[in-house]
Amino acid sequence: MTPRRLLLAAVCLIVGVTGAGATWAAFSSTTENTGNSLATSAATPAHARIATGTYTGNNTDNRDFAVAFQPHVVIIKGTNTQTGSVRTFTMSGDAAKPMAGATALTANIIQSLTTTGFQVGTNARVNATGVRYDWVAFESSQGAMQMGNYIGNGAARSFTGVGFSPEYVMVLPEGTGRAVSRASGQGTSFQFDADTGNAARVTSLDADGFSVGTSADVNTSGQNYHWIAWNRRGGLSEMTTYNGTGSAGLTAYTGFQPAYAITRRNDTTTASEAHQRIDSQAAGDSYPFAATGALTNSITAFNSLEVVFGTNAVANTNGATHSLVAFKSRPYPGGGGSSCATPGTQTVNANADGWVDQASPGSNAGGDSVLKVTSKTGNANTRAFVRFTLPATPAGCSVAFAKLRLYNKSPIAGRTLEAASVNAAWVEGTINWTNQPAVAATSQTGVPPAAAGFMEWSVTNEVRGHYTTNNGFRISDTVESQGSTEQQFDSKESGANLPQLQVTFQ
């Protein structure tokens, strides 16, 4: 059957991809594509809607659940010791993928995705009597979320045509290969249960797609693989990293109140597993994807602009970097009910920066490629100054959150650095220790990352004030004239990892 006839018969807009043995199911009238290029979804809705919910199992077959839109991906996990399961629109017949373990697509789990919701069977993964289950449903959208499938050929390869540069990709084998994922900020890809990663799975996230290696989890010759790709959309979805502290109450900024989130430790030495929270869950609970019940001390809550973590090492290992993907609930077109015309996060780079040296009070370092912050005895402290041209406020919007980000090339454990608003104007080419302006009495503090990387300060109130008078920030050690602890940040002259200000409008 040709793609055109299939379009007419199934009204599913399924696209066949020929050439190198790849096939891709999408929602488009495109008729053919070749090689490793994937047809994009030109006809999908513009909303990329997400909904969540919960139900109690009753072991009744062909049980239907309503969603406010036609879902293209559904994930379900219960409080019993069964694996989480996922079904995509590209999976045919009565088949869904267990997300942990070496298990092929299985019948009687998520039996189908319908125009009004989804249907489950009697498998204990989704419908054991008396068990609580929570679910999340996604609607794909051009530029926000796409899905498809391809036939493995055993050779490392790249796929293009997704329509955006993915920030998060899942690959779901039809066979006994393990479900795997890769997020931006991760150096490799991981399975959803305990794993130290595998460099031959999803090998990179690319400008218009992704690449896979030779692992059986992603590329056994002749086997069918389903994939889902998500794009970061400020104010609606977030893919980021955070540093664990091991302490209860750690938060990671998202810029919105999430409905669904996945976290995993980026550890290639000690096996770790992915963890998820669905906002329909009981207070404090979250789920692994593996065959264990809910946890109470991992992802503990969703606040208005952040995810909150407990002390469980799966989500909060002291000194470790963790990846976080989070999604805002928007079950209806537009969603949210806000008068903000274009909510989301805008990122701007510094337009002026420099550092000043107490030991050389008349010198200027405005053109240096680094910004130095030092606490040192003997009147030898240094401080950094940075200023940004603020993004225009969209119609009907206000600043909901702001974050200052500087790339710390030489982090020092045990120090705390403060960011304070500068009270008067300064010039990059002339600022020095002697003429440096004073700063506000209040400041925001940040802790250096465990390894070289972006250091962050939450500066929402400061940025709101900068829309009236903007003289930027001063960065200094909270305890100066102590020992010798110089930390260096990339400046705007460095050519990479430029100072950033992220402003979220809602």
> What confidence score (pLDDT) does residue 163 get?
86
Joined together, the tokens standing for residue 243 give 């540093």
Nearest to 159, CA basis, from 172, 150, 167, 168: 150
Nearest to 384, CA basis, from 424, 419, 360: 419
- Rounded-to-integer distance, Cα 39 and Cα 373, Å: 49
Encode pLDDT of 133-186 as tens digits: 999 999 988 788 988 889 999 999 999 988 899 999 999 999 999 999 999 999
- Rounded-to-integer distance, Cα 39 and Cα 56, Å: 39
- Rounded-to-integer distance, Cα 371 and Cα 373, Å: 7
The residues, ordered by sequence, that sit 6+ positions from 111 with a Cβ below 8 Å of its Cβ are: 62, 94, 96, 119, 120, 121
Q: Map residue 504 onto helix, strand or coil.
A: strand
Instruction: Give the pLDDT band (50/70/90) at residue 6.
Output: very low
CB of 395 closer than 8 Å to CB of 433: no
Encode pLDDT of 285-317 as tens digits: 999 999 999 999 999 999 988 999 999 999 999
102-111, 143-152, 395-404, 437-446: which range is least confident on average?
A: 395-404
Q: How far is CA 250 from CA 147, 317, 492, in A?
A: 33, 11, 30
CB of 280 closer than 8 Å to CB of 54: yes
The 10 Å Cβ neighbour count of residue 304 is 12
Report phi then psi at 464, rounded to 5.
-55, -40
Look at the pTM and tell me if it is higher than 0.75.
Answer: no
Report phi then psi at 465, rounded to 5.
-70, -30
Nearest to 112, CA basis, from 176, 61, 187, 154: 61
Encode pLDDT of 61-77 as tens digits: 999 998 888 899 999 99
Handedness of CA 316, 318, 324, 328 (dihedral sign): positive
Instruction: Give the pLDDT band (50/70/90) at residue 36.
Output: low
- Rounded-to-integer distance, Cα 75 and Cα 60, Å: 19
- Rounded-to-integer distance, Cα 7 and Cα 30, Å: 10
Strands, DSSP E only, in 116-249? 117-120, 132-138, 145-151, 157-160, 168-173, 180-183, 190-191, 202-206, 209-212, 224-230, 237-243
pLDDT over 60 (residue 8) = no
pLDDT over 70 (residue 411) = yes
- Rounded-to-integer distance, Cα 121 and Cα 119, Å: 7
Encode pLDDT of 216-249 as tens digits: 999 999 999 999 999 998 788 999 999 999 999 9
pLDDT cut 90: percent of the chain above it: 72
CB-based burial, 333-348: b 16+ in 10 Å, e otherwise: eebeeeebeebbbbee
Encode pLDDT of 248-292 as tens digits: 999 999 988 999 999 999 999 999 999 999 999 989 999 999 999
Report phi then psi at 466, rounded to 5.
-65, -20
- Rounded-to-integer distance, Cα 9 and Cα 354, Å: 65
| Mean per-residue pLDDT over the chain, rounded | 87
Strands, DSSP E only, in 58-141? 63-66, 73-78, 85-88, 97-98, 110-114, 117-120, 132-138
Q: Residue 14 is inside which H or E element, if any?
A: strand 14-15
Beta bridge partners of 228: 147, 170
Joined together, the tokens standing for residue 193 give 């249960």
pLDDT over 70 (residue 395) = yes
Q: How far is CA 444 from CA 285, 330, 417, 421, 475, in A?
A: 31, 32, 8, 9, 10
**484 CB burial (10 A radius; 0-12, 13-18, 19+):** exposed
Q: Is 255 left (phi over 0), alpha (psi -120 to 50) or beta?
A: left
Q: Map residue 24 onto helix, strand or coil.
A: strand
Q: What is the 3-state secondary structure (H, E, C) of 274-327?
A: CEEEECCCCCCCEEECCCCCCECCCEEEECCCEEEECCCCCCCCCCCEEEEEEE
- Maximum average pLDDT range among 19-23, 28-32, 44-48, 84-88: 84-88
Report phi then psi at 431, rounded to 5.
-65, 135
Q: Is 72 left (phi over 0), alpha (psi -120 to 50) or beta?
A: alpha
pLDDT over 80 (residue 15) = no
